[in-house]
Amino acid sequence: MPKITVLKKTNLQEDSCHSMLISLFRGLAALVVAWAHLRAASFPAFGDVANPTLLFQAMAFSSGFAYLAVMVFFVLSGWLVGGSYLNRMDTDRALQNYAVDRVSRLWVVLVPTFLVALLVGALTGTIDPGRVSFSASDPYSLTAFIGNMFGLQNILVESFGENFPLWSLANETWYYVAFPLLVVVFRSRSLASRAAALLALAAIVQLVTPAIVLYFAIWLLGAGFSRVKIEAGPLLRWALVLITVVTAVLIRLKGKNEISVETFPQFLGFSLLFALFLSSMQFKRPQSTMLDRVDRTGRFFADFSFTMYVLHVPLIFVMVHLTSSLFGIDRLSPEIVSHYLIYLGMFVVLVFAGYFFHLPFEANTSRVRQWLKGQLFARVGTVRT
């Protein structure tokens, strides 16, 4: 029988099996999302093809897991962000450090990506570089730029640069804000602090969409299960893997491929199984050359997974524009084998571009954090003195 232990602290040790898997799934989820969006932009919709080939059927099937990949992101974000905050919430300046960490994580990548989106819009003729718009309904406006920096896309403004995957960053942003408020509600000894936190949470609920509120439960699953260690034998762990994979396939084949209140139960079930599996892998990673390679590979892709996620759509816009203007190919044909090779080449370009673009930005997030904390906290100390 499995042994379930509630941990006093979230285990964030890098030599644990679950840490290796977290890195691997972070990288894989970003690749899955990019694979799906590239197929949707370059090939016709599956329903528009009368007699799809087996190769196109396989491609259509493999590219239908993007929303499940986002659920993986939500669980892992709750595990890492929520778990690390729980570990540090009683330390000095815990909330201030948390705020700087979250803002820097988002803005270090979003600001340069939004600038790329503006260049792409100018290159493709989508926008007029000489005109500045302030309309909230214009995805290239200054209002949309600022709104997306604060997670207001699909709430008050459009996703900047028509970068539709940014919807999930609105979720993430408000989960980052809501989680410490929720901690105050349950842990603060001050009645006034609890009341203020409750009022802030109520304001967030009124502002955001019902789906954002509902899917917070999946993010909280990650935070909660980061404190749960399940000691089980390999048979149970493999059973969890099998059940999770089967559930993902069933959702792909029978479920609805959209994020809504209606589809929440299917994604909650998948996320619960995934969180259970991660909790069952909380043990030290055995010494193995193969596992070391898996760990290095996972960490490599995880390091630029965020950049890959937010940058791939503007890059897809560029590649689709170039294939159309230079080669006269508006859509790749599912009947032509060489077009699959073109698609693979485009995907490789996405991955390499994501990696090289992350080097000056996402790769330096920790340095930006240290500089910001040094500047902000030094000024606070000076004022107090």
Q: How many domains does the chain have?
A: 1
pLDDT in the model for residue 347? 97
pLDDT in the model for residue 307? 98
Whole-number Å distance between alpha carbons of 141 and 135: 6
pLDDT in the model for residue 171? 98
pLDDT in the model for residue 152? 98
Contact 364, 108 (CB under 8 A): yes
Phi-psi region of 151 (alpha: psi -120 to 50; beta: other; left: phi over 0): left
Domain membership of residue 377 as a residue range: 3-384
pLDDT tens sequence across 115-165? 999 999 999 989 988 889 999 999 999 999 999 999 999 999 999 999 999
Residues in the chain with pLDDT < 70? 379-385
- Overall pTM > 0.75: yes
pLDDT in the model for residue 383? 47
Identify which of 24, 104, 23, 28 has the alpha carbon closest to the alpha carbon of residue 308: 28
Burial class (CB in 10 A: 0-12, 13-18, 19+), 265: exposed
Residue with tokens 């604060």: 150
